[in-house]
Amino acid sequence: MEPGLEELMPRLLPVDDCDLAEDFDPTVPPRTPQEYLKRVQIEAARCPDVVVAQIDPRKLKKKPTVNISISGCQPAPEGYSPTLKWQQQQVANFSAVRQSLNKHRNHWQSQHLDSNVTMPKSEDEEGWKKFCLGERVYSEIDALSDNENLAIDYMKVGFPPLLSIVSRMNQATVTSVLEYLISWFGEKKFTPELGRWLYALLACLEKPLLPEAHSLIRQLARRCSEVRALEESKNEEQISALNLIICLVSR
């Protein structure tokens, strides 16, 4: 040990000075408790104040991914299971949407909303269901009259998830609205209006996901798999939409 080094290092073990044999060698296994404690003190004194880990930067180039295990999901009907290439393409498209949304969020927040757009408060569950799905879907009206088709009434057909709307939603609101729509979907059928909003809200979720968000999207994927399995008409467009949501959640 260097001269004076022992005095500069704080003593962490209450070891009194003891007489050690003249041939004491700290490199050999200790023979007595005193030799063991002395050896520990010497090794501690030689430890550097700062230790730097050696990390191979090549291992950091690959972006980390999180795969969510979805238990309880039912398999796709025979002939309707998406290919791996299709899944990879959908994930790439979704990632591009997420990045674009994050990049331009401030711009879209600054855009004025139309005078007929009144966003409900975060805790207004029924208000958000009507806002996203419209009175027609919410009240389960089969079709609009011809007169109503002449001009779009968004209160009846639902507001689309415009960037100027979703960019104004903070994470608490995004999670709440996602929960409202998933709850509604738990007892109702899948509709294009619902699918558009689910996709948009998933794109608005920020990572790392909170535990409640993890639970919600797992619940969503399971419900999509149930509806997909019960799809009697084998509507390809609807099964594709359900496959898309399951793919995005699982990948």
> Which residues are CB-contacts of 76 (< 8 A; sequence separation ≥ 6)?
82, 225, 228, 229, 239, 243
Spatial distance between the Cα atoms of 23 and 116, rounded to a whole number of angstroms? 92
Torsion sign, CA atoms 159, 163, 169, 175: positive
Pick out the chain residues at pLDDT < 50.
5, 63-67, 145-146, 149-150
- Maximum separation of any 2 CA atoms in the chain, in Å: 107
Model-wide pTM > 0.75: no
Rounded to an integer, what is the distance from CA 127 to the centroid of its chain?
26
Spatial distance between the Cα atoms of 204 and 97, rounded to a whole number of angstroms? 9
Torsion sign, CA atoms 96, 102, 107, 111: positive
Closest CA to 247 of 96, 82, 98, 93: 82
CATH number of 84-140+154-250, picked from 1.20.58.1070, 2.40.50.100, 1.10.240.10, 3.40.50.300:
1.20.58.1070
pLDDT at residue number 93: 95
pLDDT, tens digit, 9 for 90 and up, residues 3-21: 554 555 555 555 565 566 6
